[in-house]
């Protein structure tokens, strides 16, 4: 074993992992005057850019365009012979990703961040080893993300049992796909597959899809998916998978009973914090558990050691925007500031069509937290723009505290939800009350008007509701 | 002449005009306990619902779907033989409008507002006459909107010289259309016509289209329109129009010089306050001018007389959402409250593709107002979702005061701009600073992330810009 060389440069901050959290962390630390290095073992941009948000984001856009065509037909736009060319989508995806990787490289260079390619490993307090060299530093920000957990049913080791990565390089889409798990992301994939001509079956252990969100949202989503032909099976478990001539025979149990489904692929995306090989045992006492615990300042409890992103929470909190926010907070704290993330404004989004975007508490959560809860809502079927675009299932639901009208949560189901939720994030962040929100004037005709109407509804003063 | 009958009911509020401003005014006054009547001479919903926002809103959606198809093609969605059936669009439009009129009727009834069909006319202080009956009241809210002004060039009285209404019942679209005027709305119509197979020529007296908006926005819009084939002529004037065998010969002058264009139709939409026949001379001293002057409480200066909407401002301020906001303010003041509209958060929107939404001051206006101005921007070509949807011309521009970072204006050019602008409205309303906005976390991947990045850019701390 060769001896480790000691780097001459001592860094203020070393970030391990150049993904959605690590990159802004490194740039922010450099902006604040730090000497910063970032270590990446594989591709700049991490899971989000290379295998998550970006490629699947594109798929969801393609899927929503197919949805728009149905609306167009109502409006006299006639399309004949619509065909889908999956390999063209994948080619564009790869071009996008490659362009974005270059972008990240450029941003890091512009901000004077040193990029080190290789596997980073903690070898002691303020000492990180990469490719046999030791890099001393004042602070370490861990941002290594998460990794897929292969399920453990008999047959889960078959070639046909895959994760989401499979779709990124498939020549064509499998005809019958079983999507198994609790991740909301599986719902996006199911809708995409169904619209691109596959048959998608969603199987979850939970009592419903999106079980942690407001019923207003999850029940509408279920209705839309079912109408499109996606089969949803709840309280489910896979007993075994067997490869046969006509496909993969999956024996499963669900609320519908015991049955055998014949499919071409199973896709699961259970993910866990990527902790192995980081050398945590060198500085963190005891077992870390399934993920690294941090406070709202992204501190691990060990001085100079921060952790951000998927590494620090269960899969339901694996959102790139949370990673970025945490990355910036960790960087600022590492550079001597004293800042914290606002856990109330972490947004849960789904780029299905209609989109879903939820921020803050559900009615159930708010009641459980002891609030005297008032709920207001405004369906898009009563919103002029909603009527124009036939967004009949769409709705905004708003949860507030009764006495002072404090906003506790807002849930959007409909077109542009993932953009519109920004309004709710700002309102919660700025501690707006229902009274204040009810007085806002948003442009007409837009879906945003329904947010104001939902606030009025919560106050018993709806103007445009029947 | 028959004698006027006196109604036995005395109303707290009578609203004249059941459009985008009058309807919420009436409902709000009733919610506050008032006995309220609303008078409508034609159709419930007024210009916005029957001839403006709603029918043209649908056209712009149809137009944007055609744009989405081009994106879909990049993503491997292949369409052959796209055809447009204009009469199907018009049929759907008429169904929408008829459904919405019923909705307004229902809302008024639910709130106990008396609907009086006929022409309302002031006959004295607190006295309104309709169909020969006199209705006494404490307060009058005038909401009669605006009317088309036929241009005065020789030939403007030809059948082919029309306004926007023509498109609402046309059997098919004219092949060559000249759109003449300064209204931003003409730009929407031009793009729609061009995408639906007509050839659109925009002629404005101004030095550019959208001349009052930020150059960042107007120059990008010009580029997009030109690429789509819309011809734009500035500093223009029509000399005359003559009907000939091959079409309407329009002699015009513009920056390009003097020329004759042969078209099938001219569309103009200059509009002025609808003041005639209201009986204003009975209670308002002197000449009203081109529109009724009101303060931010919508007071006219005569006790108990309020005016709202298109009646109260030049065409550039004819926005339905402004009318609604003013309507609610007028109603609350009429019912004894003391409220005012916030002129800083009136949004200017354009439902072109890309959409445009601007709130607050342009850089030029801010400088003129004496602010020490800082401008930040974030182009969507650097935004991950912007890259996915090829929103290459899109951008968010933000204008702020330098010392305290007070937000003065925000301008969006791109997809979902008219929904996203809600974020800027709330930020300005809640007096958010650049520092606060720069710390917000919006979901990924969305265009909204660029608003935060624009705030960081204004602070010299952009993270994701090259």
Question: Concatenated DSSP letters for B401-436?
Answer: ETTT-BEEEEEEEETTHHHHHHHHHHHHHTT-BHHH
Average pLDDT (A111-139) is 96
C-alpha distance from residue A117 to each of A7, A125, B30, B205 (Å): 15, 21, 68, 59
Phi and psi, residue B302, nearest 5°: -95, 130
pTM greater than 0.90: yes
pLDDT at A75 over 90: yes
Q: What is the DSSP letter of B8?
A: S
pLDDT at B1 over 60: no
Average pLDDT (A88-106) is 98
Say if the Cβ atoms of B442 and A99 lie within 8 Å.
Answer: no
User: Residue A305 belongs to a domain with what CATH number?
Assistant: 3.50.50.60
The string of pLDDT tens digits covering residues A245-302 is: 999 999 999 999 999 999 999 999 999 999 999 999 888 887 778 999 999 999 999 9
Phi and psi, residue B420, nearest 5°: -65, -30
CA nearest A206: which of A227, A236, A232, A180? A236
Whether the CB of B94 is below 8 Å from some CB of chain A: the reply is no
Check if the beta carbon of residue B149 is closer than 8 Å to that of residue B21.
no
Residue recorded with tokens 């580029």: B223
Q: Which pLDDT score, from 0 to 100, does residue B198 have?
A: 97
Token readout for A148 is: 């897929």
Spatial separation of the C-alpha atoms in residues A444 and A384, rounded to whole Å: 8
Token readout for A170 is: 């498939």
Average pLDDT (B268-286) is 91
Q: Which of B26, B60, B75 is the best residue to mutate to test the A interface, defined by the most A CB atoms within 10 Å of its own CB?
A: B75
Check if the beta carbon of residue B191 is closer than 8 Å to that of residue B166.
no
Same domain, A289 and A185: no
pLDDT at A326 over 60: yes
Same domain, B119 and B15: yes
pLDDT at A3 over 60: no
Q: Which of B218, B244, B269 is the last residue of a domain?
A: B269
CA nearest B165: which of B144, B191, B185, B136? B185
Say if the Cβ atoms of A423 and B418 lie within 8 Å.
Answer: no
The string of pLDDT tens digits covering residues B314-358 is: 998 999 999 999 999 999 999 999 999 988 889 999 999 999 999
The string of pLDDT tens digits covering residues A386-425 is: 999 999 999 999 999 999 999 999 999 999 999 999 999 9
Token readout for B95 is: 């169904």
Question: Concatenated DSSP letters for B181-236?
Answer: SS-THHHHHHHHHHHTT-EEEEE-SSSSTTTTS-HHHHHHHHHHHHHHT-EEE-S-
C-alpha distance from residue A457 to each of A379, A421, A463, A465, B323 (Å): 11, 18, 8, 8, 21
Bridge partner residues of A244 (DSSP): A247
Same domain, A43 and A143: yes
Same domain, A141 and A54: yes
Q: Which pLDDT score, from 0 to 100, does residue A28 have?
A: 98
The string of pLDDT tens digits covering residues A37-73 is: 999 999 999 999 999 999 999 999 999 999 999 999 9
Same domain, A81 and A48: yes
**pLDDT > 70 fraction of chain A, expressed in percent and rounded:** 99
Of B75, B339, B465, the CB nearest to A89: B75
**Do the domain assignments include residue A348?**
no
Spatial separation of the C-alpha atoms in residues B194 and A71, rounded to whole Å: 20
How open is the CA angle B261-B266-B267, to the nearest 5 degrees? 145
Same domain, A91 and A165: no
Q: Which pLDDT score, from 0 to 100, does residue B409 have?
A: 98
The string of pLDDT tens digits covering residues A141-175 is: 999 999 999 999 999 999 999 999 999 999 999 99
Whether the CB of B337 is below 8 Å from some CB of chain A: the reply is no
pLDDT at A325 over 90: yes
Whether the CB of A270 is below 8 Å from some CB of chain B: the reply is no
Spatial separation of the C-alpha atoms in residues B446 and B329, rounded to whole Å: 34
The per-residue b/e assignment along B412-424, b for 16 or more CB within 10 angstroms, e otherwise, is bbbbbbbbbbbbb
Whether the CB of A251 is below 8 Å from some CB of chain B: the reply is no
**Do the domain assignments include residue B463?**
no
Same domain, A260 and A278: no
Same domain, A124 and A216: no
How open is the CA angle A374-A379-A381, to the nearest 5 degrees? 165
Strand A407-414, strand B355-360: pairing = unpaired
Say if the Cβ atoms of B24 and A464 lie within 8 Å.
Answer: yes
Average pLDDT (A445-463) is 98
**Do the domain assignments include residue A51?**
yes
Check if the beta carbon of residue A388 is closer than 8 Å to that of residue B58.
yes
Average pLDDT (A118-123) is 97
Domain residues for B255? 161-269
**For chain A, what is the HEC assignment?**
CCCCEECCCCEEEEEECCCCCHHHHHHHHHHCCCCEEEEECCCCCHHHHHHCHHHHHHHHHHHHHHHHHHHHHHCCEEEEEEEECHHHHHHHHHHHHHHHHHHHHHHHHHCCCEEEECCEEEEECCEEEECCEEEEEEEEEECCCEEECCCCCCCCCCCCEECCHHHHHCCCCCCEEEEECCCCHHHHHHHHHHHCCCEEEEECCCCCCCCCCCHHHHHHHHHHHHHHCCEEECCCEEEEEEEECCEEEEEEEECCEEEEEEECEEEECCEEECCCCCCHHHCCCCCCCCCCCCCCCCECCCCCEEECHHHHCCHHHCCHHHHHHHHHHHHHHHCCCCCCCCHHHCEEEECCCCEEEEEECCHHHHHHCCCCEEEEEEEHHHCHHHHHCCCCCCEEEEEEECCCCEEEEEEEEECCHHHHHHHHHHHHHCCCEHHHHHCCCCCCCCCCHHHHHHHHHHCCCCCCCC
**Do the domain assignments include residue B400?**
yes
Residues 108-167 of B with CB under 8 A from A: 110
Residue recorded with tokens 């902790």: A275
Same domain, A140 and A173: no
Spatial separation of the C-alpha atoms in residues B310 and B15, rounded to whole Å: 15
Q: Which of B285, B320, B344 is the last residue of a domain?
A: B344
Q: Which pLDDT score, from 0 to 100, does residue B3 have?
A: 57
Spatial separation of the C-alpha atoms in residues A332 and B405, rounded to whole Å: 20
Average pLDDT (B38-47) is 97
Average pLDDT (A339-368) is 96
Q: Which of B358, B444, B449, B453 is the best residue to mutate to test the A interface, defined by the most A CB atoms within 10 Å of its own CB?
A: B444
Helix runs in B309-462, H state only: 320-334, 363-368, 384-388, 417-429, 434-437, 449-458
The string of pLDDT tens digits covering residues B135-177 is: 999 999 999 999 999 999 999 999 999 999 999 999 999 999 9
Say if the Cβ atoms of A420 and B421 lie within 8 Å.
Answer: no
Same domain, A105 and A124: yes
Spatial separation of the C-alpha atoms in residues B422 and A451, rounded to whole Å: 10
Residues with Cβ within 8 Å of B36's Cβ and at least 6 positions away in sequence, in order, are B11, B12, B13, B14, B15, B26, B29, B30, B111, B112, B113, B114
**Do the domain assignments include residue B42?**
yes
Same domain, A81 and A121: yes
Q: By mean pLDDT, which of A96-110, B67-81, B216-230 is the weakest?
A: B67-81
CA A46 to chain centre: 14
**How far A416 CA sits from the closest chain B CA (Å)?**
7
The string of pLDDT tens digits covering residues B368-389 is: 999 999 999 999 999 999 999 9
Q: Which pLDDT score, from 0 to 100, does residue A1 have?
A: 46
Strand A407-414, strand A395-401: pairing = antiparallel
Instruction: Assign A344 a pLDDT band (cuts: 50, 70, 90).
Output: confident
**Do the domain assignments include residue A294?**
yes
Whether the CB of A1 is below 8 Å from some CB of chain B: the reply is no
Residues with Cβ within 8 Å of A120's Cβ and at least 6 positions away in sequence, in order, are A14, A16, A17, A39, A41, A128, A129, A130, A278
Q: What's the domain count of chain A?
A: 3
Residue recorded with tokens 């985008």: B20
> How many of the other CB atoms lie within 10 Å of CB of B66?
19
How open is the CA angle A173-A355-A201, to the nearest 5 degrees? 40
User: Residue A439 belongs to a domain with what CATH number?
Assistant: 3.30.390.30
Q: Is A411 a catalytic residue?
A: no
Q: Which of A281, A308, A343 is the last residue of a domain?
A: A343
Strand B305-307, strand B133-142: pairing = parallel
Q: Which pLDDT score, from 0 to 100, does residue A456 have?
A: 98
Whether the CB of A426 is below 8 Å from some CB of chain B: the reply is yes
Q: Which of A95, A386, A417, A463 is the best residue to mutate to test the B interface, defined by the most B CB atoms within 10 Å of its own CB?
A: A463
Same domain, B372 and B336: no
Whether the CB of B80 is below 8 Å from some CB of chain A: the reply is yes
Contacts of A74 in chain B (CB under 8 A): 92
Return the residue of B nearest to A61 by Cα: B389
Instruction: Assign B399 a pLDDT band (cuts: 50, 70, 90).
Output: very high
Check if the beta carbon of residue A415 is closer than 8 Å to that of residue A391.
yes
pLDDT at A369 over 80: yes
How open is the CA angle A390-A464-B432, to the nearest 5 degrees? 95
**Do the domain assignments include residue B155?**
no
**Do the domain assignments include residue A402?**
yes
**pLDDT > 90 fraction of chain B, expressed in percent and rounded:** 93
> How many of the other CB atoms lie within 10 Å of CB of A451?
27
């Amino acid at each position: 074993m060769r001896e480790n060389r000691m780097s001459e440069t001592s860094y203020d901050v070393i970030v391990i992992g150049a993904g959605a959290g690590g990159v802004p962390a490194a740039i922010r630390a450099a902006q604040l005057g730090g000497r910063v290095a970032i270590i990446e073992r594989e591709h700049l941009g991490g899971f989000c850019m290379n295998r998550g948000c970006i490629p699947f984001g594109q798929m969801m856009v393609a899927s929503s365009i197919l949805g728009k065509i149905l609306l167009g037909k109502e409006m006299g736009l006639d399309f004949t012979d619509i065909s889908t060319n999956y390999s063209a989508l994948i080619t564009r995806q790869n071009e996008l990703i490659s362009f974005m990787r270059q972008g990240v490289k450029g941003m890091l260079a512009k901000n004077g961040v040193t990029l080190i390619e290789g596997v980073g490993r903690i070898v002691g307090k303020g000492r990180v080893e990469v490719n046999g060299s030791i890099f001393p530093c004042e602070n370490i920000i861990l941002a290594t993300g998460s990794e897929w957990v292969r399920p453990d049913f008999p047959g889960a080791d078959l070639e046909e049992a895959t994760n989401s990565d499979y779709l990124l390089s498939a020549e064509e889409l499998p005809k019958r796909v079983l999507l198994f798990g609790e991740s909301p992301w599986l719902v996006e994939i199911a809708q995409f597959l169904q619209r691109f001509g596959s048959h998608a079956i969603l199987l979850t252990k939970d009592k419903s899809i999106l079980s942690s969100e407001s019923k207003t949202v999850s029940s509408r989503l279920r209705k839309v998916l079912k109408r499109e032909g996606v089969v949803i099976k709840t309280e489910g478990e896979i007993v075994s998978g067997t490869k046969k001539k006509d496909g993969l025979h999956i024996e499963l149990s669900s609320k519908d009973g015991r049955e055998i489904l014949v499919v071409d692929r199973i896709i699961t995306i259970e993910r866990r914090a990527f902790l192995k090989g980081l050398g945590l045992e060198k500085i963190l006492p005891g077992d870390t558990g399934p993920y690294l615990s941090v406070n709202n300042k992204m501190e691990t409890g060990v001085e100079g050691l921060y952790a951000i992103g998927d590494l620090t929470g269960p899969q339901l909190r694996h959102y790139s925007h949370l990673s970025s926010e945490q990355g910036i907070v960790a960087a600022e704290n590492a550079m001597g500031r004293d800042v914290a993330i606002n856990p109330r404004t972490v947004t849960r989004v789904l780029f299905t069509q209609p989109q879903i975007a939820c921020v803050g508490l559900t009615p159930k959560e708010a009641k459980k937290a002891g609030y005297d809860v008032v709920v207001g809502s405004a369906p898009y079927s009563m919103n002029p723009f909603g009527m124009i675009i036939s967004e009949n299932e769409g709705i905004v639901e708003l949860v507030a505290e009764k006495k002072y009208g404090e906003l506790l949560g807002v849930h959007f189901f409909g077109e542009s939800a993932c953009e519109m939720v920004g309004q709710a994030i700002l309102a919660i962040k700025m501690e707006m009350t229902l009274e204040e929100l009810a007085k806002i004037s948003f442009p007409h005709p837009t879906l945003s008007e329904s947010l104001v109407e939902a606030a009025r509804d919560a106050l018993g003063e709806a103007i445009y509701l029947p």
